[in-house]
Structure 1
């Protein structure tokens, strides 16, 4: 007998990232080439027609791993028995909007989705939040789904991690598969700290291979931090392809494990490691095994890195306070 299908929820499924993600999940990029799935696609009522179009395309693709597609605008129906939930839907910041306005909209969205997941999802559901502000949206979800273990709610910083790998590979002229163990610390925002101090390229420490500290502390950091905005400027649209690919990478490593001796970056609930503030969703280097993640410990942090970690940590504390104010006003 083959494996039983796993139910995978994608919210915001009619949008750019959701559309890219659906086909990648359906081809086994997320859970492996032998794991059947049943897709649950959720979007808001105004996107219902587009959502049905996505379902039609998935049927037309005749994908061997897909054992069913549910397309719905009902959050409770969408969350029924799902084992993996990828939260792509959210309210984007628009011109003229204050941070509090955006946070208030997302508090409302993630409060209702948290309640539906808590009530209807499979026991042990793993949740990945993609929609920005991803770290704090994940925290809102955690605050409103107390029965879901805190370690089962994560935020996407793998996109930033992969961007950092790509930048180093391009700079050195090597294949990206030979670049390992970069770290994204903190928030998925312009305060994030991409760190290569412990990374390797072709088995050599990245700083030694590059011999260019000015680039590593200058253009490298700013390029990774601002990459999303740069892609929007070039395409006129967001980085949907790479975001979807990175979401698959995040879940695949979480569920199936990381390679021995390597780590990846995930936004997870902070225990205060490396001077990060506690009880925010903070990006750390993690290793995964048996469906669990663990923060990599014992890495040396110099004064420069500690300062960068503090800046992004302070921003997450501010976002948390703002989110809790919005929750209190609900």
Structure 2
């Protein structure tokens, strides 16, 4: 029998995890014949709610799910895991300054990075979802020096999916007909959704999205701001943050890490910059277009970057540098 994949989800009593766990358990991520062990971590006051989530997972009677462990202890949660999906983070509260948010999350992800370093398998794949996702991921990476930095990534797949969907809606095609959009930079309102290298299938053949849309004003205006501000728009409408779409994006991200990207396609994810690609400073956790093979990612190189794109890419890098500098001030004194 295939050995179970031991997968940790943090913030497991929250609304994103509630949408995510069933998809993982029924085989949408690791395959329909891959047994699983789910480890669910949350803070102590949420353990009652988490117990209810465990009961529901049991009641789903999913054959692939061999064990469910619910805990509030990092030494239990991170032990021998194959995959860590770090959803839990401190959300921004009313009156909270950005610096306060970064400080709270540095403490969380410093602790979780240290737990990864101490307890997890050295082959563990770490996916950070909790915001500010890029900087939280960088914090965890820096606090887990024995784990390869290439094993860390943060979620910009939700933004990637949003960009695909907006183009598909504009052209009245299926979202799967749109390929190779790019999210550059931060998972924030400075991110740059880029379709200059994207293609769409129209009447049986692939054409560039720019050629198909024929509206440069929309592509450089409303398209970008819609994707950048989509999360806020969902909160405005639902009075809650994106959960169903975030869970779907997490499944997409981890499945591609596990099985690879199709030939000729790239996806967006936040990964560590080596300082030699697209002018992004070294050691920023920045969203790039990547291809994935054998559970390893590679940044797509050689794409032509025009002046408009350069300005947008630099702006989001500048924000990430500021976040990093602020977070690492706290990291050094914590």
TM bin (shorter chain): over 0.9
Aligned counterpart in structure 1 of residue 267 of structure 2, from 264, 273, 277: 264
Shift in Å at residue 31 of structure 1? 1.1
| SS in structure 2 of the partner of residue 275 of structure 1 | coil
Query: Residue 248 of structure 1 aligns with which residue?
Result: 251
5 Å-filtered alignment, 1:1-330, equals 2-202=1-201, 203-272=206-275, 273-330=277-334
Please give the per-residue CA displacement for 1:170-201, whole angstroms capped at 9, x wherever unaligned.
00000111100000000000000000000001
5+ residue gaps, structure 2: none
Shift in Å at residue 116 of structure 1? 1.0
Shift in Å at residue 123 of structure 1? 2.3
Contact kept, 8 Å, 1:186 with 1:284, in 2: the verdict is: yes
Alpha-carbon distance between aligned partners in 2 of 1:53 and 1:117, rounded to the nearest angstrom: 26
Alpha-carbon distance between aligned partners in 1 of 2:19 and 2:146, rounded to the nearest angstrom: 31
Alpha-carbon distance between aligned partners in 2 of 1:250 and 1:211, rounded to the nearest angstrom: 30
Bigger Cα displacement from structure 2, 24-33 vs 153-162: 24-33
Contact kept, 8 Å, 1:76 with 1:117, in 2: the verdict is: no
Shift in Å at residue 302 of structure 1? 0.4
Shift in Å at residue 21 of structure 1? 1.0
Please give the per-residue CA displacement for 1:74-109, whole angstroms capped at 9, x wherever unaligned.
111011111000000100111111111111111111
Bigger Cα displacement from structure 2, 48-57 vs 24-33: 24-33
| SS in structure 1 of the partner of residue 67 of structure 2 | strand
Contact kept, 8 Å, 2:122 with 2:146, in 1: the verdict is: no
5+ residue gaps, structure 1: none
Shift in Å at residue 329 of structure 1? 2.1
| SS in structure 1 of the partner of residue 27 of structure 2 | coil
Alpha-carbon distance between aligned partners in 2 of 1:140 and 1:103, rounded to the nearest angstrom: 10
Alpha-carbon distance between aligned partners in 2 of 1:245 and 1:86, rounded to the nearest angstrom: 13
Calculate the TM-score normalised by the size of structure 1: 0.99
Root mean square deviation, CA, Å:
0.7
Alpha-carbon distance between aligned partners in 1 of 2:18 and 2:119, rounded to the nearest angstrom: 24
How many equivalent pairs are there?
329
Alpha-carbon distance between aligned partners in 2 of 1:255 and 1:291, rounded to the nearest angstrom: 5
| SS in structure 2 of the partner of residue 274 of structure 1 | coil
